[in-house]
Amino acid sequence: MLTGTSKSAKLQLLTPLQKANIYLSLFGLFKVPFIWLSRPKILHLDQSRVEVKLPLKRRSKNHLNSMYFGALCVGADVAGGFMAMSKAQSRGEKISLAFKSVKGDFLKRPETDVHFHCDDGDLIDEMLDQTIESGERVNQEVKITAMCPSLHGDEPMAVFYLTLSLKKV
């Protein structure tokens, strides 16, 4: 038991993935409540890829008992945005992050928990390098693929293209 241990020492016992999920929950609770209500969970996060799971629950279902497209957009937002926020924080930089546009191709009805994959870590690194060096806003399209692995394996349910906009503050 960790009696008498400081909070910072307890935080050091957490894995990077656990810390990322705590940060995501707090960010949702205090900054974007619909993220918090949707209860996303980061399953994988490294320099090149992020995987986020969004559970299919009463709040995220539509009238067809599949995931509502608004909830799908939340999952795509988290998958595309969290990697950029995480990378900026690890560099110690304050970055303004927004999405300028979204395009979604809805291919099949997601009738269970949805996993969102973004493999654009290298592109996000380039964007961060550009905005840190120039101080200018940088816009690039990132791709997020939504899948239901428990029902359909690696078959995409939806594909999102979000224009990520970064600027050093």
Apex 14 CA angle, 12 and 86, nearest 5 = 90
Contact 157, 148 (CB under 8 A): yes
Predicted confidence at residue 5, as pLDDT, reads 59
Whole-number mean pLDDT of the chain?
A: 93
| Band of residue 12 on the pLDDT scale cut at 50, 70, 90 | confident
41-45 vs 95-106, strand pairing mode = unpaired
Per-domain residue ranges for the chain? 15-168
> What is the pLDDT at residue 11?
63
Provide the token pair at 7. 């909070």
10 pLDDT above the threshold of 90: no
CATH of 15-168 among 3.30.2020.30, 3.30.565.10, 3.10.129.10, 1.10.10.10: 3.10.129.10
Q: What was the pLDDT predicted at 2?
A: 52
Q: How far apart, in whole angstroms, are the C-alpha atoms of residue 102 and residue 84?
A: 16
Average pLDDT over residues 93-115: 96
Is the model's pLDDT at 6 over the cut of 70?
no
Rg (CA), the chain: 17
Residues of the chain with pLDDT > 90, as a percent, come to 92
Amino acid 46: pLDDT: 95
Whether the per-residue pLDDT at 1 is higher than 70: the answer is no
Per residue in 42-62, pLDDT (tens digit) is 999 999 999 999 999 999 999
Residues 147-159 have a mean pLDDT of 96
